[in-house]
Amino acid sequence: MITALRKEFLLQWRTRAQAVAVFVFGATALLLFSFAIGPNSAALRQHAAGFLWLGLLLSSTLTLSETFHAEMENHALEGLLLLPVSPRALYYGKAVANAIQLIALGIALVPVMVVLYDAGTTRLPTLLLIIVLGSAGISAPGTLYSAMTSQARAKQTLLPLLLFPLIVPVLLASVKSTSLVILGDPMSQATSWLLLLLAFNGIYWSLCGLLFDRVVED
């Protein structure tokens, strides 16, 4: 899997300009959401968590839909599958690389959220943990669905249509726990939402790894 992960980092480094574009897209989305609320700082702060995760989710579809672009260009994925390598290792390499990219994007969007929505927090380690688990929860099924839709003509449309309903629990838990971190958590509910995130990550990462070879093999 390490070899597969190195390959992904190499490919991502070669297309790093795209990561900047995705961040700009996410930041612009956050800015537009703030226009929808207007100059009401209390309302902005209250909705900050939801907007952060919506921005991250919309940006993630741009990243995920391009995940298999390089693999399909010269049928490179088929070439890899014909090497002595497990399809599962290829999947986990790609999914981990996607998760890291989404985590980096999430971390980069936090200062934008703080500035636009006045939604600062001192519980940064917890916020980081939520971003890590939330991004991983999007990346695991996102990578699988990206493989499924990579050869479809309307992959940009098809991917969100398939992915969004599946990751509702992850999105809900991420928004709720982020909101509790920003607005305060007097009843200590964040732990429950984090456990839910952890559970869904366990399900997605194990199930998608098992299904990947059925998706990519003839």
Partner 1 sequence: MQPLAIDAAHLARRYGRRWAVADVSFQLARGAVMMVAGRNGSGKTTLLRILSTAIRPDIGRAAVLGHDLIRGREEIRRETALLAHYSYLYESLTSRQNLEIVGRFCGAAPAETTSALERVGLAERANDPVSTFSAGMRKRLSFARVLLQKPVLAFLDEPFGQLDPQGFQLVEQVVAELKRGGATVVIATHQVDRVAGFADVHLNLEQGRMIA
Residues engaged in binding partner 1 (CB under 8 A): 3, 6-7, 10-11, 14-15, 70, 73-76, 78-86, 218
User: Whose Cβ is closer to partner 1: residue 34's or residue 63's?
Assistant: 63
Q: How far is the CB of 65 from partner 1 (least distance, A)?
A: 17
Assess contact for 159 and 64: CB atoms under 8 A: yes
Q: What's the min distance (Å) between Cβ of 80 and partner 1?
A: 7
* Shortest separation between residue 74's beta carbon and partner 1, angstroms: 5
Residue 132, H or E segment = helix 124-149
Q: What is the dihedral of CA 73, 75, 81, 87, to 10 degrees?
A: 40
Rg for the chain (alpha carbons), in Å? 18
Which of 88, 123 has the CB closer to partner 1?
88
How far out from the chain centre does Cα 154 lie? 20
- Residue 73 vs 186, nearer CB to partner 1: 73
Question: What does the alpha-carbon distance between residue 177 and residue 182 come to, in Å, rounded to a whole number?
Answer: 9
Our CB check for partner 1 shows the closer of 92 and 117 to be 92
The smaller minimum CB distance to partner 1, of residues 18 and 121, is found at 18
Round to whole Å and give the CA distance between 215 and 81: 12
- Round to whole Å and give the CA distance between 214 and 110: 37
Contact 210, 91 (CB under 8 A): no
Q: Is the CB of 86 or the CB of 192 nearer to partner 1? A: 86
Please give the Cα distance from 6 to 61 (Å, whole number). 22
Cα distances from 72 to residues 138, 182, 216, in angstroms, run: 22, 42, 11
